[in-house]
Amino acid sequence: MKILCTSAVLAWLVLGGPAVAAEEPAFETYPTIVDFAFVEERATVPRRDDVTIVDSRPERKYNKGHIPVAVNISDTLFEALQDRLPEDKDEMLIFYCGGLNCPLSHKSAFKAEELGYSNIHVYAAGYPDWTANGGLASVSPKYVKDMIEKGAGVVVDARPPRKFKKAHVPGAVSVPTTRFDQMHDALPEDKDTELVFYCGGYHCTLSVKGATKARALGYTNAKVFQAGYPAWKEAYGSESLAIEDTGEEGLIAIASFMNILENHPDEIYLVDVRDHSEVEMDGTHPSAKVIPIDTLLGEIADMPNDKPTVFFCSNGARAGEAYDFVNMKRGDIEAYFLEAAVSFNNQPLPQVNRTN
């Protein structure tokens, strides 16, 4: 039997107490209502195969924040997006939207029932209740892209360094969850800064664990991008920086070095460790910071750690020494060096030849 009630009565049913909310226009509510504890048990990462959590709000709301494993099927576009529902009509469905006054989840639940789904629940208190109870907020690829373009907050790659080096979201910092205690200094000092952690998708727990660790340190605005790098790549392609090493620790491949200079110069901290007199005669890359090897030790403490550092010189010897210095003094910097002969001849891009 379908139940018709106001939001005030619904508040009594969900919250278990007196209904103090003002009377709102009545809407038809779905009979099977669940609470935060019920949803939390099922909104797990990795995503469970036996339950689908559905955000019935418009996409713009979903993009800004949603339950981490939820799919977005806006109620107003339900018919067009219903293929996002599972094929198994017996699989559990949990619909939610913007809280007790929001009818969208109830409307979608009835629509799913008409399609033949038989195990349907509505989290009537919805997303506001999820965050109020400490549930992590997840954001979409579009939100992350807008965040990067605006220079707001910090995107954190929680995957192992080898994954980060291969490819990552542009501008992300690497704070592997497995090494969080040693590398969390890469996070900003301001604990109110928005942090968005990501890893390898809905099967990967590292983003949730990383955001939880950040919360424990006092960060008040830690979120996840739970769809992770697979969703980023699908949405925007693999345009992120990819650093290919040579198998020797810290040694960047020549082809990778040239690709970075041509296509991603702003995504690394490029350091020319030649003497100023050499640079004046030969030139250097427009984005390079000139720090002669003789003065590098005095400047290492002030070097940034929000992007990979790549050292180069005229033949690789000083670049390798710079790499050793940084590893000795700063464990929080992801550093590389080029072991090759570099000559700019006052051109933007150098000639690079392998050295013996």
In a domain, 170, yes or no: yes
Which residues span the domain enclosing 178? Answer: 141-236
Confidence grade of residue 266 (pLDDT, cut at 50, 70, 90): confident
**Per-residue pLDDT tens for 87-101?**
999 999 999 999 999
Residues 18 and 127 in one domain: yes
| Residue 2 pLDDT greater than 70, yes or no | no
Residues 115 and 27 in one domain: yes
Question: pTM higher than 0.75 for the full model?
Answer: no
Residues 201 and 112 in one domain: no
Say which CATH number the domain at 308 has.
Answer: 3.40.250.10
Residue that is last in its domain, among 104, 132, 160: 132
Residues 107 and 180 in one domain: no
Residues 276 and 330 in one domain: yes
**Per-residue pLDDT tens for 33-87?**
999 999 999 999 999 999 999 999 999 999 999 999 999 999 999 999 999 999 9
Measured CA distances, 110 to 14, 81, 94, 107 (Å): 19, 15, 12, 5
In a domain, 243, yes or no: no
Residues 15 and 103 in one domain: yes
Please report the pLDDT score of residue 58 as a whole number.
Answer: 96
Residues 119 and 178 in one domain: no
In a domain, 339, yes or no: yes
193 and 219 Cβ atoms separated by less than 8 Å:
yes
Scanning 177-288, the segments in alpha helix (DSSP H) are 180-183, 206-216, 228-236, 254-263, 276-282
Q: How many domains does the chain have?
A: 3
Q: In the predicted model, what is the mean pLDDT of residues 258-267? A: 86
Residues 275 and 317 in one domain: yes
Measured CA distances, 129 to 97, 122, 139, 197, 220 (Å): 10, 13, 17, 22, 17
Per-range mean pLDDT, top range of 122-126, 233-237, 338-342, 345-349: 122-126
Please report the pLDDT score of residue 353 as a whole number.
Answer: 87
Q: In the predicted model, what is the mean pLDDT of residues 107-114? A: 98
In a domain, 175, yes or no: yes
Residues 173 and 126 in one domain: no
Encoding tokens for residue 167? 């490819």
In a domain, 105, yes or no: yes
Please report the pLDDT score of residue 20 as a whole number.
Answer: 44
In a domain, 298, yes or no: yes
